[in-house]
């Protein structure tokens, strides 16, 4: 190459616009890092928000001034789609009540009517628990007096048991049937201090399974020791309801058309027949003076009242509490400090073939197919009419309230959750993590390509300088 040609090439190169390969590569790498950091930060923020949404399960409820501690919500809703289970985190803590029925969220294609709704003691936080078949709360699924545990029937065929679901620590304890050969075991009543549980067993009486016997047992939860309270041939009404005295020393329960009273050692104290169109009032049937409350229907007015009897069945008259009209029956949950009775009122199903205006077994009056909805009422002494304490959607057909909530006598303004439940947010969080991971991986791959391009640019520059020196 001549000196003149070399000089001409250098002049042309000097006049050509320079392309900043290194600077552009550095800027691209920095922009990629910023985008990666922003994507990861967005994912972390979304994941951090999930527990907040889960914890509330909907809009938070602030109790009115003066309401402190466990309280009865003045209304309940249906469990949101994707509600957290009773044992999911964050833990629910003690519950105010549980409910069941045939409404949306309480039924399924597989589990029939076997889902239980659970409401927190001090806020509208909802949980669910699935039994797998129809188990009305207050009869076959029971909330402990302090609201901490739920007793539900469970177990495979031939190995029935009761599960104790702890809402505070999320554990589930399995309580085996105390009756050998039992085909079904279900809870029937909690002792007032929560240390014992009455369970009801159904056992085949012969190999053919053409006859059965019912057994009622008191099981100590600390030792597992069981005391048999009664065993008899199968009856439609057996050991429901079960009512403990306040000190837990005696148990009253209905068997057919009789009420039996036994000690916790299994010794029978007394029994008496029930008057027509009446029944043991409920788990709160014992009055502070040691008498018992019955629910009875006045045929002339079709209204239900609470009346008092002694342990021999002697009628002591109607209690000075308002009557309840327009219901198939009522069931007594317990007593407030001022003497107000808290009861569940069952509004009849208009399309039911049963006639509620005439004699009808108590178990049929509260059967799912014969009930449209329930309410919780307060029957205050000397009041002229019941006070509605809690309302529920149609097809919520059974409810059980913690004794601690009944005794507290507080009612809070409720705001049931709406929108998706906690498990939906969990799924959204997991999807966001996966998506964020894919985005981050793609950005990292792009970053590697930029670095490779940057390395290639350096190599090209060095090679050009080397060739220039050789040409010089």
- Give all strands (DSSP E) within 157-302, no chain letters: 159-166, 172-176, 184-190, 196-204, 212-220, 226-233, 238-244, 250-255, 258-263, 268-273, 278-280, 292-298
Provide the mean pLDDT of the chain.
86
pLDDT for position 13? 57
Residue 158 confidence class, pLDDT cut points 50, 70, 90 = confident
> Cα–Cα–Cα angle for 346, 350, 352, nearest 5°?
90
Residue 457 confidence class, pLDDT cut points 50, 70, 90 = low
Of the listed ranges 45-49, 90-94, 287-291, 467-471, the one predicted with least confidence: 45-49
Distance CA 429, CA 335 (A): 45
State the average pLDDT over residues 17-39: 56
State the average pLDDT over residues 140-144: 98
Residue 470 CA: distances (Å) to CA of 6, 464, 466: 12, 10, 6
Q: Which two tokens stand for residue 379?
A: 């029957």
pLDDT for position 358? 83
Residue 160 confidence class, pLDDT cut points 50, 70, 90 = very high
pLDDT for position 458? 55
Neighbours of 223 (CB within 10 A): 9
Q: Which of 278, 240, 293, 280 minimizes the C-alpha distance to 360?
A: 278
Residues forming a β-bridge with 331: 344
Q: Which two tokens stand for residue 192?
A: 């007032």
Distance CA 413, CA 289 (A): 33
Q: Is the pLDDT of residue 145 over 80?
A: yes
pLDDT digits (tens, 9 = 90+) for 413-430: 999 998 776 555 455 565
Q: Are 351 and 375 in contact (CB under 8 A)?
A: no
Residue 450 confidence class, pLDDT cut points 50, 70, 90 = low
State the average pLDDT over residues 320-340: 97
pLDDT for position 43? 46
Of the listed ranges 43-47, 355-359, 395-399, the one predicted with least confidence: 43-47
pLDDT digits (tens, 9 = 90+) for 281-294: 999 999 999 999 99
State the average pLDDT over residues 456-470: 54
Q: Is the pLDDT of residue 57 over 50?
A: no
Residues forming a β-bridge with 223: none
Cβ contacts of 433-437, under 8 Å, gap ≥ 24: 433/43, 433/47, 435/43, 436/39, 436/40, 436/42, 436/43
Distance CA 214, CA 42 (A): 60
Q: Which of 76, 64, 70 minimizes the C-alpha distance to 118?
A: 76
pLDDT digits (tens, 9 = 90+) for 177-193: 999 999 999 999 999 99
Distance CA 471, CA 207 (A): 108
What percentage of residues in the chain have a pLDDT greater than 70?
A: 76
Q: Are 415 and 126 in contact (CB under 8 A)?
A: no
Domain ranges of the chain: 27-59+424-472, 60-414
Distance CA 360, CA 277 (A): 7
Q: Is the pLDDT of residue 305 over 50?
A: yes
pLDDT digits (tens, 9 = 90+) for 366-390: 999 999 999 999 999 989 999 999 9
pLDDT for position 113? 76
Distance CA 269, CA 262 (A): 5
Distance CA 295, CA 305 (A): 6
SS3 content of the chain, % helix, strand, coil (to 5): 25, 35, 40
State the average pLDDT over residues 208-217: 95
pLDDT for position 355? 85
Cβ contacts of 246-253, under 8 Å, gap ≥ 24: 246/192, 246/286, 246/288, 247/192, 248/191, 248/192, 248/193, 248/196, 251/189, 251/198, 251/218, 252/280, 252/285, 252/286, 252/292, 253/188, 253/189, 253/198, 253/216, 253/229, 253/280
Q: Is the pLDDT of residue 467 over 50?
A: yes
Distance CA 182, CA 172 (A): 21
State whether residue 115 is helix, strand or coil.
Answer: strand
Q: Are 284 and 246 in contact (CB under 8 A)?
A: no
Of the listed ranges 109-123, 190-204, 260-274, the one predicted with least confidence: 109-123
Label residue 145 exposed, middle or buried (CB < 10 Å: 0-12, 13-18, 19+).
buried
pLDDT for position 68? 72
Distance CA 130, CA 110 (A): 11
Residue 444 confidence class, pLDDT cut points 50, 70, 90 = confident
Residue 414 CA: distances (Å) to CA of 124, 125, 277: 7, 10, 36
Residue 20 confidence class, pLDDT cut points 50, 70, 90 = low
pLDDT for position 440? 66
State whether residue 376 is helix, strand or coil.
Answer: strand
State whether residue 260 is helix, strand or coil.
Answer: strand
Q: Is the pLDDT of residue 460 over 80?
A: no
Residue 283 CA: distances (Å) to CA of 180, 252, 414, 463: 27, 9, 25, 93
The fold for domain 60-414 equals Neuraminidase (2.120.10)
Residue 448 confidence class, pLDDT cut points 50, 70, 90 = confident
Question: Directed axis angle between helix 422-471 and helix 21-56, to 10°?
Answer: 170
Residue 435 confidence class, pLDDT cut points 50, 70, 90 = low
Neighbours of 316 (CB within 10 A): 13
């Amino acid at each position: 190459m001549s000196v003149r040609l070399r000089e001409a090439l250098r002049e042309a190169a000097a006049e050509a616009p320079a392309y900043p390969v290194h600077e552009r590569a550095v800027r691209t790498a920095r922009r990629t890092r910023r985008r990666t950091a922003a994507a990861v930060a967005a994912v972390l923020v979304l994941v951090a928000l999930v527990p907040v949404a889960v914890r509330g399960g909907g809009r938070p409820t602030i109790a009115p001034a003066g309401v402190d501690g466990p309280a009865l919500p003045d209304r309940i809703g249906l469990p949101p789609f994707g509600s957290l289970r009773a044992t999911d985190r964050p833990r629910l803590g003690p519950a105010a009540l549980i409910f069941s029925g045939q409404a949306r969220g309480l039924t399924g294609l597989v589990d029939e009517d076997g889902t239980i709704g659970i409401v927190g003691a001090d806020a509208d936080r909802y949980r669910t628990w699935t039994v797998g078949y129809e188990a009305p709360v207050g009869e076959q699924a029971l909330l402990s007096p302090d609201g901490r545990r739920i007793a539900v029937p469970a177990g495979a065929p031939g190995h029935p048991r009761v599960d104790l679901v702890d809402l505070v620590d999320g554990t589930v304890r399995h309580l085996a049937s105390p009756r050998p050969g039992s085909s079904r075991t279900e809870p029937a009543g909690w002792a007032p201090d929560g240390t014992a549980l009455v369970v009801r067993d159904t056992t085949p009486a012969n190999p053919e399974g053409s006859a059965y016997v019912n057994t009622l047992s008191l099981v100590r939860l600390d030792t597992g020791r069981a005391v048999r309270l009664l065993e008899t041939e199968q009856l439609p009404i057996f050991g429901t309801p079960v009512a403990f005295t306040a000190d837990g020393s005696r148990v009253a329960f209905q068997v057919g058309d009789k009420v039996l009273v036994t000690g916790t050692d299994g010794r029978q104290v007394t029994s008496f027949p029930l008057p027509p169109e009446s029944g043991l009032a409920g788990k709160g049937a014992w009055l502070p003076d040691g008498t018992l409350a019955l629910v009875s229907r006045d045929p002339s007015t079709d209204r239900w009242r609470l009346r008092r009897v002694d342990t021999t069945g002697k009628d002591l008259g109607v209690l000075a509490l308002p009557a309840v009209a327009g219901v198939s029956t009522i069931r007594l949950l317990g007593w407030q400090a001022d003497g107000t009775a808290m009861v569940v009122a069952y509004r009849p199903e208009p399309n039911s073939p049963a006639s509620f205006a005439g004699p009808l077994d108590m178990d049929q009056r509260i059967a799912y197919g014969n009930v449209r909805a329930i309410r919780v009422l307060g029957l205050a002494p000397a009041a002229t009419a019941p006070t509605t304490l809690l309302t529920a959607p149609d097809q919520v057909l059974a409810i059980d309230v913690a004794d601690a909530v009944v005794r507290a006598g507080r009612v809070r303004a409720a705001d049931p959750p709406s929108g998706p439940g906690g498990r939906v947010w969990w799924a959204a969080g997991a999807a966001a993590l996966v998506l964020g991971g894919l985005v981050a991986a793609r950005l990292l791959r792009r970053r590697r390509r930029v670095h490779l391009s940057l390395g290639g640019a350096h190599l090209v520059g060095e090679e050009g300088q080397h060739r220039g020196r050789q040409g010089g």
